[in-house]
Structure 1
Amino acid sequence: MQVELIDEGQKLTEKQRQIILDLIDQAGLKIAAPAQAELDITIVDNHTIRQLNRDYRDIDRATDVLSFALMEGEEPVDWSTISMKEGQEPLNLHLGDIIISIERAIEQATEYKHSLERELGFLAVHGFLHLNGYDHQTAEAEKEMFGIQEEVLSDYGLTR
């Protein structure tokens, strides 16, 4: 999977950058996303994410993570049903964009009493799952999405 990680304020350490990239790869394997999938993750401040939240969701406040999926649907994408014709070159598939507020991540890590790395990882995986059609609008969907998130984070060693 190709991930472009843009740190607008240059706030991430190299370790934090690598954790985010590793977790996206791990989450991609977990849901069997295609290896040629692409996405962008941008780390911003509260002011920037508030503007995006206001402009695209009509909610005038900072949030922790926003996902802008290019493939919107009612159900999670079942990648096993999407196949290439024999001999066809695999196309790069841009899933969308994840925007994370570093300031909200720091606040939430303190509030939840876990590391910033765990919070950044949670937000990245959460956003990635949204790009792939997962949501938490019903109790059943939330259980599935949060179960995947926790499994990916735990397997990586980022527990609460």
Structure 2
Amino acid sequence: MIQFFNEDIDFKVPQSRITKKWLLNIIEAEGFHLNQLNYIFCSDEYLLKINQQYLEHDFYTDIITFDNSEEDNHIEGDIFISIDRVKENATLHQKTFEEELLRVLAHGVLHLVGYDDLEDEQELQMRAKEDHYLSKL
């Protein structure tokens, strides 16, 4: 089950039904089973507080993913997304808001299935996976 929530903002995912199906397809294509996935949309300030409290990072970010799964190859997690940051990154990368939002939604799932982006090579692999799944939508 995939659910969308808001914390301190009012936001609705465009075409949420199609988006949920697309996210489930990513999970299944990566060989995982979905238990529960919550996306929580929020402001920059809200996500900054989470970043400081849980990760001890003092900077803005577009996404923070918490993996709550207890079984291998099962997805259970919470993904926090700053809509402020998605809007800014869309402008910065000359993408539409919707394109950037979909990239970030996929990015969180890819973290949960084991992809990372801390090193340059990992980031390239993550971008390639994002592009691959965006082309499937």
TM-score calculated relative to the size of structure 2: 0.85
Summarize the alignment of residues 1-160 of structure 1 with structure 2, pairs less than 5 Å apart.
2-8=1-7, 9-15=9-15, 17-18=16-17, 20-34=19-33, 36-71=34-69, 79=73, 95-156=76-137
Unaligned runs of 5+ in 2: none
What is the distance in 2 between the residues matched to 1:124 and 1:137? Answer: 18
Q: Aligned-residue CA RMSD in angstroms? A: 2.2
TM-score using structure 1 length = 0.74
Q: Which of the pair has more CA radius of gyration? A: 1
Closer, same or farther: CA 46–139 of 1 in aligned 2, 3 Å: closer
Q: Report the number of matched residues.
A: 135
Deviations 1:43-97 (A, max 9, x none): 000110000001111112221000011249xxxx6x4xxxxxxxxxxxxx55211
Using the TM superposition, give the Cα deviation of residue 19 of structure 1 relative to its aligned residue in structure 2, in angstroms. Answer: 5.3
Equivalents in 1 of 2:123, 2:58: separation in Å?
Answer: 25
Query: Kindly tell me: are residues 154 and 25 of structure 1, through their superposed partners in 2, closer, same or farther at Cα, counting changes over 3 Å?
Result: same
Q: Check 1:12–1:127 CA distance in 2 against 1; reply closer, same or farther (3 A cut).
A: same
Shift of 1:136: 1.9
Q: Deviations over 1:90-133 (max 9, x none)?
A: xxx55211000000001111111111111111111111111122
Q: Secondary structure at the match of 2:104?
A: helix
> Any conservation in 1 of the 2:75–2:112 contact (CA below 8 Å)?
no
Gaps in structure 1 of 5+ consecutive residues: 80-92
Amino acid at match of 1:67: T
Contact 2:51 2:59 in 1 (8 A): yes
- Alpha-carbon distance between aligned partners in 2 of 1:150 and 1:19, rounded to the nearest angstrom: 18
Change (3 A) 1:103 1:19: farther
